Structures are given as C-alpha cells and as structure tokens.
Structure 1
Amino acid sequence: MLKTRIITALVLLAVFLPTLFLLPAVYIGAFFLVALLAAAWEWGRLLTPQSARAAWLYALFCLAIILLLLGMQNASWQFGLLLLAVLFWFFIAPFILARGMNLSLQKLRPFYVVIGLILLPATWFSLVFLRELGLTFLLTSITLVWVADIGAYFVGKAFGKHKLAVQISPGKSIEGALGGLVLCYGYALICVIYLPFESTLFGAWAIRFGWVPMFVMVTVLTAFSIFGDLFESQLKRLAGVKDSSQLLPGHGGVLDRVDALIPAMPIAAILAGFV
C-alpha cells in the first residue's frame, strides 16, 4: 500500500512540477482543470452511485460553468462565484458539519448538486487567479494547506486525545488541529522573513495590515482547510464509501486530495484581492 502510494505521488509530481515551472501559465491552468473535473466526476458519483452517466454529466456541467464564465470575460462574474463559495464556507458549512451524521443524503442531494457546481469551479478560478499573481504566490498559498495537514497528522498521532469530529472523522483530534495551526504560523513567518513581501499572501498582508491581521488570516485559512477535509469526509460517510474513487492508487480519489483546497483557495483569492 505504501509503495503504491509513493509511486502515485512520484508520477503526479513528475507531471505537476515540469508543468508548473517549465511551461506557460495556461498549462498549469489546464492541469488544475483536469484535476477539478475529475473531482467533479467523483462528486457526482457520491451523489448518484447508481448512475455512471450522471457523474459524467456533472463533470460536464462544471466544465460548462467554467467555460461560460471565461467566455463572458467579465471578472465581476468570476468574483461573484468566488464570493458565493466563501459565503457558503463561512455561513452554511459550519451548520452542516455541526449536524454530524444526522443528515439524509437522499433529501439533501439537490443541495449538494448545486453547491458542488459552485465550489468546484470557484476553486479552479481561485487557483488560476493566484497563479496570475505569481508562481510563488500560488505555491506558498497551496503549501499552507499541506503544512496544516502534515502538522495535524503528526501532532495528532503523537498527542491526540480529544476528538475533533468523532462522527465525521474519528482520526482527527483537537490537538492535531492546533498542532497544524502552530506549524502554519511558523511557515507563514518564514515566508514573510525570507521571501519578498509582495511574493506571498502572508508578506503582502503583514506589510499592508500588520502582523496580527496576518496571523488571523493564517488562522482562518488553516481552519477552513480543516473544514474542507471534514466536509468531504461527511459527504463520503453519508454516501457510504471510504474513498471518493480509486483514480489515484494508494491515495483514493482526486477529491480526497484536494478537499482542503476547496475552501482555502477561494478564501485566499478573496483575501489577496484586499492587497
């Protein structure tokens, strides 16, 4: 299992890194588009496991939304999509997560259908926008989510005693989440000290608003990356599956790998707009 996981990760890196560093920005946009459409296909499978065609149609709908907004060439519509996604994560997602497993996927299926068509395209637009601000801007924003996940895993393994969301994800602990947050503080501090201020979201916020607002921003991004992970875990449990698919051997599905990015990247894009 570990060998398969490592091989899959190496193959992904072999595609991702040259695309990111050696090719024009449009190619990384295409890479992200393929990943998000795969995640949309998996989202559709979770909602309609009895119909393979419905999952493909769902991915096509996501693609159509992205192409429509691109074709309109109106940044305000793209911003509106990002804003809808951010409002969902701030004002609706917490109440859904608070219900744990006391939900019915059958009754809420129309809701999940609609919200996926907002969240997934918004994630793609936010990644593309962050890339337009600079390669380092994009990488440091994505890395924050990875740092939060790594910190939560290892601190949780070592010290985790109090469950964060026992019904949704029994493996996650409050200690792990706090450990990930502390590691993210350290990571953001390193970015501010060693990278040009304007090249990262953390440096831009520190120089524009000060250190305290910057650390508050890191707290928000870290918290919502955890929300994204829990939201996808909740959806999988409601659907009665362990992984969103087996597209990535050893890792599960694409949605399993990008779930924390789905809330964090639109929020990061909106926050970047302030500076």
Structure 2
Amino acid sequence: MLITRIITATILMAVLLPILFFLPPIYLGIFFLIALVAAAWEWSRMIAPEAKKAAWLYAVFCLVIILLLLGMQAITWQFSLLMMAVLFWFFLAPFILAKGMNLSLQKFKPFYSITGLIILPATWFALVFLRELGLVFLLTTMALVWVADIGAYFVGKAFGKHKLAVSISPGKSIEGALGGLLLCYLYAFLCVTFLPLGDTLFGAWAIQFGWVPMFLMVTVLTAFSVFGDLFESQLKRLAGVKDSSHLLPGHGGVLDRVDALIPTMPIAALLAGWI
C-alpha cells in the first residue's frame, strides 16, 4: 500500500512540477480543470452510485459551466459563482455537518447535485484567479491547507482526546484542529516575515489591515479547510464508501485529496480580491 502511494505521488509530482515552474499558467489551469472534472465525476458517483452513466454527464456539465463562464469572459458571473460557493460554506454547510449522519442521501440528492455544480467550478475559478496573482501567491495559500492538515494529524495523534465530529470522522479531535490552527499561525507569520509582503495573501493582509485581522483571516481559512474535510467525510459515510474513487491508487480519489481546498480556495480568492 505504501509503495503504491509513493508511486502515485511520484507520478503526480513528475507531471505537476514542470507545469508549475516551466510552462505558461494556462497549462496549470488545464491541470486544475482535469482534476475538478474528475472530482465532479466522483461527486456524482457518490450521490447516485446506481447511475454510473449519469456521472459522466455530470462531469461534462461541470466542464461546460466552467468553459461557458470562461468563454463569456463574464467576470460578474464568475464572481457570483464564487459568492454562492462562499455563502454555501458559511451558512449551509455548518447546518449540514451538525446533522451528522441523520441525513438521507436519497432525499437530499437534488441538493447535493446542485451544490456540486456550484462549489466545484467555483474552486477552479478561485485557483486560476490566485495563480494570476502569482505562483507564490497561489502555492502559499494552498499550503495553508496542508499545514493545517499536518498539524492536526500530529497534534491529534499525540494529544487528541476530545472528538471533533465522532459520527462523521472519528479520527479527528478538537486538540488536533487547534494544533493545526497554531501551526497555521506560525506558517503565516513566517510567510509575512520572510517573503515579499505583496507575494502572499498573508503579507498583503498584514500590510492592508494589520496583524490581528491577518491572523483572524488565517483562523477562518483554517476552520473552513476542516469543514471541507468533514463535509466530504460525511458525504462518503452517507454514500457508504471509504474513498471517493480509486482514480489515485493508494490515495483514493481526487476529492479525497482536494476536499479541504474546495471551501478554502473560493474564500481566499474573495479575500484576495478584496484587497
């Protein structure tokens, strides 16, 4: 299993690193597009496992939404899509998570179908927008999610006693989430201290608003990275599956790897656009 994970990760890095550092930004956009369309396919298979052909149509529909908004160059529509995604994560996702496993996937299938066609395309536009602000800007913003995950894992393993959402993800603890947040504070501080201030979201916010609002922003982004992880875990449990798919051998599916980015990136894009 470990060897499979390493091989898959090595192949992904061999593809992604040249795209990041040697090719024009459009190729990174294409890479993200492929990943998000694959995530849409997985999303549909989870909410309607019996309709395997429909999953392909759902992925195509997600692709059409992205290409249509991109082709129209409708900045207002793209912004509206980002806003809808952010409003979902702020005002609907917490109530859904609060329900735990007391939900009927069959009953909420139309809701999840519409939700996927909002939050997945919004994630792609957010990633592309952040890349337009600079490669370092994009990578440091994405890295916040990984830092939160790493901190939560190790602190949770060492000190985790109180479950964060026992019915959804028994392995997550409150102590782990707080540990991830503290590590994110340190990470943001290091970004502001050692990188050009305008090259990162954290530095830009520290310049514009000061340290306290910057750390509040980090708190929000870290919290919603946890929300994204829990939301996908809840959906998988409702669907009765361990992984979103087997597209990435040893790692599960694309959604399993990007779940924490799905809420965080649209929020980060709006915060970056604000300044």
With the length of structure 1 as denominator, give the TM-score of the two structures.
0.99
**2:158 is matched with which residue?**
158
Match of 1:9 in 2: 9
User: Deviations for 1:107-139, whole angstroms, at most 9, x for unmatched residues?
Assistant: 000000000000000000000000000000000
What displacement does 1:68 show?
0.9
Q: Which amino acid letter does the alignment assign opposite residue 264 of structure 2?
A: A
CA distance in 2, matches of 1:76, 1:9: 37
- Note the C-alpha offset of 1:72: 1.2
| Cross-structure match for 2:245 | 245
The number of residue pairs the alignment matches comes to 275
Q: 1:161-210 CA distances to partner (integer Å, 9 max, x unpaired)?
A: 00000000000000000000000000000000000111000000000000
Please name the residue that 1:81 is paired with. 81
Cα deviation for residue 71 of structure 1 reads 1.4
Show the counterpart of 2:46: 46
Is residue 195 from structure 1 mapped to residue 195 from structure 2 by the alignment?
A: yes
Q: What is the Cα deviation at residue 3 of structure 1?
A: 1.3
* 2:140 paired with 1:116: no
Equivalent-residue separation in structure 1 for 2:78 and 2:165 (angstroms): 33
Which residue is 1:213 aligned to? 213
Find the aligned partners of 2:151 and 2:4 in 1 and give their Cα distance.
23
Amino acid at match of 1:41: W
TM-score for the superposition, normalised by structure 2 = 0.99
Amino acid across the alignment from 1:140: T
Aligned counterparts, 1:170-189, within 5 A: 170-189=170-189
Whole-angstrom CA distance in 2 between matches of 1:161 and 1:224: 22
Distance 1:148 1:192 in 2: 17
Q: What residue is the counterpart of 2:32 in the other structure? A: 32
Match of 1:133 in 2: 133
Q: 1:48: how far off? A: 1.2
The CA deviation at 1:257 is: 0.2
Give the RMSD, CA atoms, in angstroms.
Answer: 0.5
Q: Aligned AA for 2:196?
A: P
Structure 1 runs, 4 residues or longer, greater than 3 Å off: none
Report what 1:148 is aligned to. Answer: 148
Residues 126-162 of structure 1: per-residue CA shift (max 9 Å, x gap): 0000000000000000000000011101111111000
Matched AA of 1:233: S
The whole-number CA distance in structure 1 between the counterparts of 2:192 and 2:3 is 36
**Counterpart-to-counterpart distance in 2, 1:222 and 1:243:** 23
* CA distance in 1 between partners of 2:75 and 2:137 (Å): 20
In the TM superposition, what is the alpha-carbon distance from 1:261 to its structure 2 partner?
0.2
For residues 40 and 9 of structure 1, the distance between their equivalents in structure 2, rounded to whole angstroms, comes to: 21
What is the distance in 2 between the residues matched to 1:164 and 1:233?
13
Structure-2 separation of matches of 1:243 and 1:92: 24
Question: Aligned with 1:164: secondary structure?
Answer: strand
Gaps of 5+ in 2: none
**In the alignment, structure 1 residue 235 sits paired with structure 2 residue 259:** no
Which amino acid letter does the alignment assign opposite residue 192 of structure 2?
V
> Could you tell me which amino acid in structure 2 is paired with residue 71 of structure 1?
G
d(CA) in 1 for partners of 2:249 and 2:161? Answer: 31
1:222 aligns with 2:231: no
What does residue 92 of structure 1 align with? 92
